[in-house]
Every structure is written in structure tokens, then in C-alpha cells.
Amino acid sequence: MAGSLRNVIQESIMTGKMLACAMVFAMGLTATATTAEASGCGWYAIGGAFKSRNSAYNQAGNLDASVYDLDDSDSPNAGKGFYVVALGPVRKSQANRYRQEFRQNGVSSAYVKKMCFYGPRL
């Protein structure tokens, strides 16, 4: 009986350790996903940059894209006060497909760029 009690205790300890490890692993995955979503880093298809927020919204509506404030990005040389029409962050291959769609919709200057937007979509 003492042997079976010892086995039960050992199994409980092992189960507890496995659960603790699983919880730590899950928290790490959640923290990583949250950081990636919050930073907005990755590949973007860029469909234009505008001084006027309304112009950016119009273009975004035409392209079914989002508007971002370029001041909230990691592109310090891009100029202050611009609003960017973009789709992303996505894999580079998907960003290239979006760029093609933008070009098919008349935006010949559309391009793909790896960057970060720190603010929300507008």
C-alpha cells in the first residue's frame, strides 16, 4: 500500500510539473502573439501616402485597405504628417499579391516594404 501511495504522489507531482510547464509555454505564446499584434511589424503592400487623412481614406476605400499614420512607424525619413494606405502585416508573398491587386486597380506606384506601424489602424 505504501508503494501505491508513493506512485500516486509521484504521478501527481509529474502531472503538476507538466501542467506548470504547459502554462508557462502557453503564456509565452500569448505574450509573443500580443507583442507582434501590438507592434504591427511585417510586410506591407503600400498603396499610397497622403497629406490629407480624407484622401487616404478615399484611396483605402477604393483598394479595400487600411490607413496608418506614418508618424507612428519605423520610417523616420518618410516625412511628417503623412497617412499611408496599406495592407499588412502579412508574409512577403501575400504582400506581393496585394501590390499586384493595387496595380491592377490603377496604383502603378504600389510597392512592398517590411516595416512597423506602432499606432492603430485609422
pLDDT per residue as tens digits for the range 3-28: 565 664 556 555 555 444 444 444 44
Does any domain span residue 122? no
Q: How far apart are CA 74 and CA 100, in angstroms?
A: 24
As a whole number of Å, the end-to-end CA separation of the chain is: 67
Same domain, 46 and 35: no
* pLDDT given at position 35: 35
Q: What is the CA angle 103-106-108, rounded to 5?
A: 50
Question: Could you tell me the pTM of the whole model?
Answer: 0.65
Tell me, yes or no, whether 2 and 22 share the same domain.
Answer: yes
| pLDDT in the model for residue 96 | 98
Q: What is the pLDDT of residue 3?
A: 59
Q: Which residue type sits at 2?
A: A
Q: What is the pLDDT of residue 112?
A: 98
In a domain, 75, yes or no: yes
Strands (E) in 16-82, as ranges, are 41-50, 66-69
Q: Are 27 and 73 in a shared domain?
A: no
State the Cα torsion 63-48-88-37 to the nearest 10°.
-120
| pLDDT given for residue 1 in this prediction | 54
For 39, the 3-state DSSP assignment is helix
Q: Which residues of the chain have pLDDT under 70?
A: 1-39, 76-79
- Domain span at residue 112 reads 41-116
